[in-house]
Structure 1
């Protein structure tokens, strides 16, 4: 039975997608391997466990054998385990697949699909383009973001004849793209460090696609562990008019189309390694801050920050008696997060089989 005192959030991370075979002991776990074990027998669950067979289970992960270390090293030499998760006390279960981060992508005029959208104007007309940039990389330089203004004038009416005639060639798009490419601020920082423009065209329809960049954070060692990621996205807003402009809704403006919203990645190793570090710190699984000792002892962190991981989360309550006596029962709530590489099936299948049979069944999960 697992009854160790531990932090309220436990994190397991592994790149070993092979779940321990049924009927095995925790000592059979390979380093980094994960298994699900019956709280009564301490043997691993079969491929289709049920609440009838096992009223509770715990998750365990194999750890390196550190028996050679002196007793004063302060490092546990035991399998890493969660608390016993009683099926009747499971209150939450969900999962999510790893996902790459996305840039903000916006088109003005032709969007690559709808040829009715375009950028055009009349001869001698001056057209404006306002690009508002926000997000942490920009707001480090301009609190609240910055608005860049560009303008292009159409060909003179003497050469195009009718002053009411529309110019439907790519001169408007070409002019805006050229100005953006040459734009700098704060003493020479190119705007193209933060956004990329691409000309879109189909027949007589023209437009510009704007894509935001991911910009590396500039930090020092004092702040390294505060941030979950090493880069931030830039967010884009585009208009033919100044964002502070208020005019008639009937005015003819260039169509703006959002092609993709900016989004942080999910399951990124840079973020997960911090969760694992905090969980093991709270769980008193300390390791030396001295580099020579860490090299000799081996790391206690399993996360590879260059990889991405799928996630499964279990929320459960535990019951205990109050320290004040009077036979007062108390409940504590715990969370266990398991991060594994994409492509595994055994772990998820076992959890789904079990949660479908508990007294209050929870929805199964597919990542």
Structure 2
């Protein structure tokens, strides 16, 4: 009989999730390991020149590494095929966002709509009270709400990608690594006998995009994007056509090295899919103070009455900056930053903090100076 009950641990085969499972086992939980097969190898890798064995995270080798950790712990391990749910929501939305001129964030989508629901469904089937992952974040109950906070290791903190996890899902979630630093994780892996993962490199790729080559991925999934080549690069200040691009889906706000000369470095300022136009300009043209976000999920607070001064992040590696945030209805907000932010990209997430605690997050619709554009249609949530 375990001291703390059963916990379903998401095991990717990396050092983080392996140590998370080991820590929970040492704490007296009955650990059940699960590795989720989220994408179809042949569809994603076909024509990419990348083999299964070298395809980044979630490969067959990773699954075997996860199983080896579970065996050492004396825990059961299973691979769960969620390719249909993952593809219908995450991959289709990834493609749709680029075709809508937006910059997608598939990790948030996966956490919000796929991973937690899939884990909890399997946890219920296996009699597990909790689920756990190797994210560098913390969760606690405060004032009747479940609050996600930054992980202790600032360089590895993953609270940004967890803003969309629902309150009832957080209530059953454990983050064993939240109070640890990466160097300690690797030391613990060696001490636990997980030599095959202790020095394993972290994967920073999108799991279903081989070699992080999203252009090649899009070209294989949507061959019609080739017909968009030759659209205009338009200068943000003069309106002059200053070059021709490879197709607007292949560009993101803030991107440089565009192969055009403006007399100074050129950056993508805005994307206009309706006219196949990529607006470019100097770095100064990327500066924005105001953004709006929709699809907002509230964390530490259930909403904002009036205005609140919070720390705001506009991308995963963003250190954040102070902003005044105002609620616009149940699931929308407006944020005005004290100083201009660079490359506020529609489709990315804006996440707002009270100290280390996540207050709210949502999808950036547009910065104030950008032209209004319709958000892509969201496909229906999968039934898990």
Q: TM over 0.5: same fold?
A: no
Instruction: Give TM-score scaled by structure 1 length.
Output: 0.21
Instruction: Give TM-score scaled by structure 2 length.
Output: 0.21
Q: Which has the higher helix share?
A: 2
- Greater relative contact order, per chain length (Cα 8 Å cut-off, separation 6+): 1
- Which protein shows a greater Rg? 1
